[in-house]
Amino acid sequence: MKKRKLLSFCLVLLVVLITIIFFFHRLKIKDFLTLPSKNPSLIILHEKSLKGLAGERTPLTLTLLNRTKFSWSSGGKNPIYLSYHLLDKNQRVIQFENERFPLPVKVRPGKQINLTINLRHPLEAGHYLVEFDLVKEGAFWFKGKGYSPPKLELTVLPLLWPEDKQTWSLKKGSWSKIEFSSREFSLLLKMIRLTLEKNKVTFHLGPKNVYGFRAGLDYHQIWLRDSTTLIPVIKYYFPRGYLFSWLEAFLESQAENGSLPDWLDSQGHLGKNTTESDQEASAVQAAFLLSQLTSQDWLLQDIKGHSLINRLEKALSYLLRHRWSPRFSLIRGAHTADWGDVDLVDADQQAIQIDERTHWTVDIYDQAMFYLACRNLSTLFQQLNHHHQSLFWAQKAAGIKRAVQKWLWDHQRGYFLIHRHCDSLQHSFEEKDILAVGGNTMAILAGLASPPQVHSIIQAIISRKKQAQLPTFSATLLPPYPPGTFKHPLLDEPYEYQNGGQWDWWGGRFILALFEHGYSSLAKQALSEIIALVQKNRGLFEWSNRVGIAQGSDYFAGSAGALGQALIEGYCGLNFARDSLNLSPRLQKDEVRLHLYLPALDAFVAYHYQYQEPGRIIFTYNSNLSLPGKINLLLPEEMTHSPLKVKLDGQAVPFQVKILHQDAYLCLESDYYPHTLEISIDK
């Protein structure tokens, strides 16, 4: 009897074991049935400690030893990656999920490989521990299976710039410095400075040196449209050569028909992604911004037998001759994802070049770029007293605006359509439901959208971001194109690359639009959301996926330019050039000390804004520009509905309170000599 019971028990136990083995086999984790006995490590560090600057990258070589019973691969379902957990010096977790490093080859049981990675330093100085671990994506971390992850001591030193040695002052100084009461804004500005410095280049092309900025670490060229977005920031930190020489080099490379290249490299090679129609417009916009930093003689200088301004006109004329749609009276370009340069036809490099298979469209992004360029060129001709040409380009701008309102504004949806097709192509989905964030943002900034349209677009983007549950306002398409619409693997899935990926290059510009159109509280919140991802990813990248994981080029200059403009012009409220100075700080209860210097003009502006409880603002400012102007201060909420006392240097002065959507500004006229403005609630 006892033998029968024992036999029955053994049979039941065998069935249970077989069931367990089958279960683990189905979960593809059978190899972990036998846990390691002495917590062996699968990762061998050759260094115990590292030291480096905040926001920098350090190359690090590790050895991976496969002590498991199965092969490791970074391909297929549940790929295996090297990663790490960031801890403080007391071994408390700061950030568990971090960058994934793919294995270069399959690692079989018993084999080992060396893997060199670039370790991203945190943005704040301090002492850290980096706990290296392997992850089977979507399944488990190896640490949880009994393997011992090694720890590396990481000492992060503060990132300092020459201006950090300067004590803030209202007096003139040849340095630029902003001190924020907000720690996160200070971190962002340091990353902007570092990103620009990483991309600074000098190309020795014949007798001339060309100074400029790469688009990012993965790019070796100076790109025209990317560089244009940097001007509002680099003008405060870099000498004249980095502002002007790259644009002059592009104009020297202009084709006979007026076409301009996309990029220029250190060997003098040129290239153009012909799917796009924004290169020429970008050049005109850049020239307009730069013209405000120098004398008008610059516009008349000779560029290979033509004046600079005539080359600008030749560039826009190229678009009228070669990219004009008679049907729509608008500029046409290839069918891409909004502002992008990858078409939907090809899966290889041909996707950035037009050919006989190209599907043509008129999109809102190209119209906004061309419209702004026409207005800029008209203004430049007016400044030179070339009235006939000024009128011509002003009329072209007006015509574009009329055609955009006719063909691209969607009254029902409340935003500009991404594009209209010039051929018979039809999608199997409703393309009008795709909100082109980049193109609509550019339409706001260019002045194409009327005030009611601006607010309609902003509300639509706010709503779509909430529906998609996205961490930032940087997504470029809401929603993206469905899977398979684009053949190229970079954007054949939603929320990839230009198909709805999160690009701070555009998020920064949308935040600027929020600041400028009465949504300052939301703009500040949106900036904080982006900074949270910058801190998590430890840098400014080309784009990020739907959940905010960094993708594409590291130290992406376009992100630095757009976020820097949002910070300086949007939040700090400073727009500063040769003949104009606009001070509109949108700081409310924050404190900022600002001193910005324009090397190209030898001009500066400085201010100190502070809020003092209860309901009192002290604003001191100074500049060496002798201009009449206006001060516009965004009022904190509790000061918007109360009577105010306003004194300039101790004397009462007239003022107005103006409402711009959700924002209330105190406005008064003032020059920019040293003054102290006091605002308080009149009790």
pLDDT tens across 30-88, in order? 444 344 445 678 999 999 999 999 999 999 999 999 999 999 999 999 999 999 999 99
What is the DSSP pairing of strand 675-681 with strand 616-623? Answer: antiparallel
Angle between helices 557-565 and 504-516 (to 10 degrees): 10
Range of lowest pLDDT (175-179, 206-210, 340-344, 378-382):
206-210
Q: What are the beta bridge partners of residue 560?
A: none
Residue 336 maps to a domain: yes
- Same domain (yes/no): 138, 214: no
Question: Taken in order 412, 414, 419, 422, is the CA torsion positive or negative?
Answer: positive
What confidence tier does 18 reach under pLDDT thresholds 50, 70, 90?
low
Statement to judge: residues 582 and 540 lie in one domain = no
Let me know whether 108 and 121 are in one domain. Answer: yes
User: How high does pLDDT run on average in the chain?
Assistant: 94
Residues 565 and 613 in one domain: no
Which helix (H) or strand (E) element contains residue 453? helix 451-468
Give the C-alpha separation, 580 to 601, whole Å: 12
Buried b (16+ CB within 10 A) or exposed e, 158-175: ebebebeeeeeebeebeb
SS3 319: helix
Angle at 80 between CA 76 and CA 84, to 5 degrees: 150
Nearest to 607 by CA among 580, 585, 590, 629: 585
Structure tokens at 534: 């910058």
Q: Examine the domain organization and report whether 66 and 117 are in the same domain.
A: yes
Residue 292: what pLDDT? 96
- Cβ atoms of 284 and 312 within 8 Å: the answer is yes
Q: Please report which confidence band the pLDDT of residue 28 belongs to, taking 50, 70 and 90 as the band edges.
A: very low
Taking 60 as the threshold, does the pLDDT of residue 257 lie above it? yes
- Domain membership flag for residue 184: no
* Any domain includes 517: yes
Find the length of the chain.
683
CATH number of the domain encompassing residue 239: 1.50.10.10
pLDDT digits (tens, 9 = 90+) for 528-579: 999 999 999 999 999 999 999 999 999 999 999 999 999 999 999 999 888 8
Structure tokens at 615: 């309901």
Look at residue 11 in the predicted model and tell me its pLDDT: 67
Q: Which of 571, 605, 636 is the last residue of a domain?
A: 571
Give the whole-angstrom CA distance, residue 57 versus residue 194: 11
Q: What angle do CA 562, 564, 570 make, to 5 degrees?
A: 90
C-alpha span between 286 and 293 (Å, rounded): 11
Retrieve residue 498's tokens. 């230009």
Tell me the C-alpha distance between 17 and 356, whole Å.
Answer: 65
Determine the Cα angle at 666 with ends 661 and 671, to 5°. 130
Strand-pair partners of 612: 616
Contacts of 523 (CB under 8 A, 6+ apart): 511, 512, 514, 515, 566, 570, 571, 586
Contacts by residues 78-82 (CB-CB < 8 Å, ≥ 24 positions apart): 78/28, 78/136, 78/137, 78/138, 78/139, 79/136, 79/137, 80/134, 80/135, 80/136, 80/137, 81/134, 81/135, 81/137, 82/43, 82/115, 82/117, 82/132, 82/133, 82/134
Q: Is 605 exposed, middle or buried (0-12, 13-18, 19+ CB in 10 A)?
A: buried
**Confidence band of 613 (pLDDT split at 50, 70, 90):** confident
Distance, CA of 264 to CA of 262 (rounded, Å): 7
Q: Please state the domain count of the chain.
A: 3
Pairing between strand 415-416 and 409-410? antiparallel
Rounded Cα–Cα distance for residues 340 and 491 (Å): 10
Domain assignment present for residue 12? The answer is: no
Q: What is the dihedral of CA 124, 125, 130, 134, to 10 degrees?
A: 30
Residue 283 has pLDDT above 80, yes or no: yes
Same domain, 477 and 610: no
State the CB neighbour count (10 A cutoff) for residue 289.
Answer: 18
| pLDDT score of 669 more than 90 | yes
β-strands 550-551, 543-544: how paired? antiparallel
pTM, whole model, 2 decimals? 0.92
Find all residues with CB under 8 Å of 310, minimum gap 6, and list them: none
- Residue 100 inside a domain? The answer is yes
Angle, in degrees to the nearest 10, between helices 279-291 and 308-322:
150
Q: Count of CB atoms within 10 A of residue 244's CB?
A: 20
The widest CA-to-CA distance across the chain, in whole angstroms, is 115
Running DSSP on this structure, what letter comes out for residue 353? S
Domain co-membership, 620 together with 514: no
630: enclosing H helix or E strand: strand 628-634
Cross-strand pairs, 115 = 62
In this predicted structure, the answer to whether residue 209 has a pLDDT above a threshold of 70 is: yes
Q: Give the tokens for residue 661.
A: 């959507």
**What is the CATH number for 670?**
2.60.40.1180
- What is the pLDDT, as a whole number, of residue 577? 86
DSSP state for residue 555 in the 8-state scheme: S
Tokens 């500040």 identify what position? 524
Find tokens 């100076």 and name the residue.
Answer: 222
Task: Give per-residue pLDDT as tens, 105-155.
Answer: 999 999 999 999 999 999 999 999 999 999 999 999 999 999 999 999 999
Query: Which pLDDT score is estimated for 592?
Result: 99
Distance of alpha carbon 569 from alpha carbon 511, whole angstroms? 11
Question: Any idea what the CATH number is for the domain that residue 137 is in?
Answer: 2.60.40.10
**Per-residue pLDDT tens digits for 422-479:** 999 999 999 999 999 999 999 999 999 999 999 999 999 999 999 999 999 999 999 9
Share of the chain above pLDDT 70, in %: 94
Verify that 131 and 274 share a domain, yes or no. no
Q: How many whole angstroms separate alpha carbon 253 and alpha carbon 247?
A: 10
Cα 406 from Cα 416, distance rounded (Å): 10
Q: What is the pLDDT of residue 33?
A: 36
The amino acid at residue 537 is N
Yes or no: say if 449 and 517 are a contact pair by the CB < 8 Å rule.
Answer: no
In a domain, 4, yes or no: no
DSSP 288: H
pLDDT band for 640, please (50, 70, 90 cuts).
Answer: very high
CA-CA distance, 314 to 225, in Å (whole number)?
A: 17
| Distance separating alpha carbons of residues 459 and 441, to the nearest angstrom | 12
Residue 683 has pLDDT above 90, yes or no: no
For 401-432, write each residue's pLDDT tens digit: 999 999 999 999 999 999 999 999 999 999 99
Beta strands in 69-111 (DSSP E): 80-88, 93-95, 101-102
Pairing label, strands 93-95, 49-53: unpaired
Domain that holds residue 647: 576-681
**Region 11-20: what's the mean pLDDT?**
66
**Residue entry with tokens 């574009």:** 400
Name the domain boundary from 531, 555, 571: 571
- Asked if 71 and 219 sit in the same domain, the reply is no
> Would 649 be classed as within a structural domain?
yes
Do the Cβ atoms of 516 and 458 come closer than 8 Å? Answer: no
520 and 550 fall within a common domain: yes
Chain centroid to Cα 165, Å, comes to: 28
Does residue 34 lie within any of the structural domains? Answer: no
Per-residue model confidence (pLDDT) at position 580: 85
End-to-end Cα spacing for the chain? 99
- Spatial distance between the Cα atoms of 146 and 462, rounded to a whole number of angstroms: 45
Within 8 A by CB and 6+ apart from 349, the residues are: none
**Prior bond to 614 cis, omega within 30?**
yes
Average pLDDT in the 9-33 region? 56
- Burial of 394 per CB tally in 10 Å (0-12, 13-18, 19+): middle
- Same domain (yes/no): 532, 396: yes
Q: How large a percentage of the chain has pLDDT more than 90?
A: 91
- Together in a domain, 298 and 323: yes
- Listed residues 554, 571, 588: the one ending a domain: 571
